[in-house]
Structures are given as C-alpha cells and as structure tokens.
Homo-oligomer: A and B are copies of this chain.
C-alpha cells in the first residue's frame, strides 16, 4: 500500500477516528494525572521531577495501543488502563535515563530542558527509578482483574528489561563503541523501541482476556509497528529539525549511532517503514471494522516520516 492510499483511507473516516482516539487519549491523560503521586506528596522534589517528564507532551502512543488493542478484542478501556499508564511511565523513565550525561547526554527533550538539566543528575536517576518502580505497582494495584496481573507484569518485565528495551540500549551503547555487525543492528531495532510498543498491544490483549488465537495475532501487529516506529525515529533524526523534534537533531550521526539511514540511506529506510506498517495493518485485517482505530494509529506512525 502506498502512502497516498493510506492517507486516503484514513481521511475517509478521519473525523470519527480522531474523535475516538482523542477520547481514549483523554482518559489515559486523566488516569496518569490521578494515579501518579502529586507534587505535594513527600518528598515533593522527586514527584515534581517525575511529573515534569511524564507530562511534557508525549504522544501516549504506547498507552493508546494498549487500550485500543484491548477494545478491539472485546475488553473495556478500564481493563487496560493501568498497564497502559505503566507503559508510559516506563517509556518516560527510559527517556530520562537515556538523556543522562553518562548516556546520550542530551540537554533537551520535547522542547524543554531534559530532566537532569531541570533537577540535577542524582534526582533524574531517582526519578527514572521511581517511575519504573511505580509502573509495576500501578499494574498490580489498579488492574480490575487480579487474574491477569501475573501475565501483565511478566510481559512488561520481559519487554522493558535486559532481553527487551534495556538490552536494546546496551546494544546501542556498544555500537557507538565499535560493535557494528548486522546482528547488532537487528538486535537494536527489535529491542530498543519495538519491544515496548509490541508489548503494549500484547498487554491490551491480555487485559481483554483475549483467546490464545487473538493473543497470537496481536504481536504481529505490534512487532511490525514497533519496528516501523524505530525506523521512522531514525529517519526523523536525520531529516527533522531540532525544533520539530523537541530534542537535538542529527545526534545519531554525530555520535556514530548504528541506525537504518546510516546503513541503508533515507529512501530505502522509508520503503522499509512503509512495508512494516503494511504488515502491521495486514495482521489486524481479520478484525474488520473493530480494527480501524489500530489501523489509523499505524498510519499515523508512518506519516511522521513523510
């Protein structure tokens, strides 16, 4: 499917879908504000630091995918909301730790000073630790059905840990230090960003109490979309401006990161992203009209790169 037809398909029901997505996003936002410790909770500084990064204007892609996957498979928004918010906490903690001087050393994130610039390095480390810890507590304390908690915690643990996101960051780090083989590039792309995005759709399915057949289908959507998201992110680092990105553009090239554009060039990378999004959409086609929100979210990921 070309980008043009993807855009046409989306425009057809764009208004309805946008309304649906905005509605879900609103519920996610409200839940995050309600569930995260307030800035008045002792010790205040760390809760301020956590909320500073959590409410810095993130697109909430991971929670949207979790909630919409849950709805597609017959669950309610409330079933997936705690896991959805947990994934946003984990995504946010990973950005805070990633920006640290010892890691990517980035002074800006989403157009604001990064967490360690605003609160100091020690507090940024602890704010990340706090968000990661709170994510799991949230799933355990707020998920309506206790029976799905073990599967959710396990799923999130695998996707966020050393065999998932953290593993991807390690591989990324080692690539900068010279480990640049093909196994490494593939590993980075599958783990650094894709793991948590794929996890979001699986968590949605688990929260919905999905059948094993449906549970098997959700990952194909999430895995391909997650990979596409990482490829698009790499492209944007090359073609985007610092203003558009809200973070320093061109950092990947400067720091010799191993990325899709650095290996395949921009055009070929866009083709790869388009193909991956096509595969993601194909995976949810069996769900017909119920898949239209996830379908729109997939198109949205691709449109960022054009």
Asked if A15 is at the interface (CB within 8 A of a chain B CB), the reply is no
Are A140 and B154 in contact (CB-based, < 8 A)? Answer: yes
Contact assessment for B187 and A162 in the assembled complex, using a CB-CB cutoff below 8 Å: no
Interface size on A, residues (CB 8 A): 55
Q: Are B167 and A43 in contact (CB under 8 A)?
A: yes
| CB contact between A157 and one of B45, B136, B157 (< 8 Å): that residue | B136
The stretch of A66-74, A169-177, A207-215, A243-251 in contact with B is A169-177
> A298 contacts the other chain (Cβ, under 8 Å)?
no
Interface flag for A25 (CB, 8 Å): no
Q: What are the interface flags for A228-253 relative to B under an 8 Å C-beta threshold, 1 for contact and 0 otherwise? A: 00000000000000000000000000
**Contact indicator B170/A46 (Cβ below 8 Å):** yes
- Per-position contact with B for A36-65: 1 when CB-CB < 8 Å, else 0? 010001110111001000000000000000
The A interface is mostly helix, strand or loop, or mixed, namely helix
Alpha-carbon gap, A121 to B156, bound state (A) = 25
User: Do residues B163 and A126 form an inter-chain contact, with CB atoms below 8 A?
Assistant: no
Question: Which of A95-103, A269-277, A286-294 forms part of the interface with chain B?
Answer: A95-103
User: What's the number of copies of this chain in the assembled complex?
Assistant: 2
Identify which of A121, A140, A146, A167 gathers the most chain B CB atoms within 10 Å of its CB.
Answer: A140
Assess whether B133 is in contact with A173, with CB atoms less than 8 Å apart.
no
Q: Chain B CB within 10 Å — which of A93, A133, A156, A174 has the most?
A: A133
From 251 to 270 in chain A, residues with beta carbon under 8 angstroms from any chain B beta carbon are none
Contact B133 A161 (CB under 8 A): yes
Proximity bits, A106-137, B CB within 8 Å = 1, else 0: 00000000000000111101101110111011
Of B137, B150, B169, B173, which is within 8 A of A149 by CB? B150
**In the complex with contacts A100-B125, A129-B97, A149-B150, A46-B162 CB distance below 8 A:** yes
A116 to chain B, nearest CB (A): 8
At the interface, yes or no: A153 with Cβ under 8 Å from chain B? Answer: yes
Which chain A residues have a beta carbon within 8 Å of chain B's beta carbons? Answer: 37, 41-43, 45-47, 50, 93, 97, 100, 102-103, 120-123, 125-126, 128-130, 132-134, 136-141, 143, 146-147, 149-154, 156-158, 160-163, 166-167, 169-171, 173-174, 187
List 24 A-B pairs, Cβ < 8 Å.
A37-B162, A43-B170, A43-B174, A43-B187, A46-B170, A47-B162, A97-B125, A97-B129, A102-B121, A123-B170, A123-B173, A126-B169, A128-B129, A129-B166, A132-B132, A133-B160, A133-B162, A136-B136, A136-B153, A140-B150, A141-B150, A141-B154, A149-B150, A153-B153
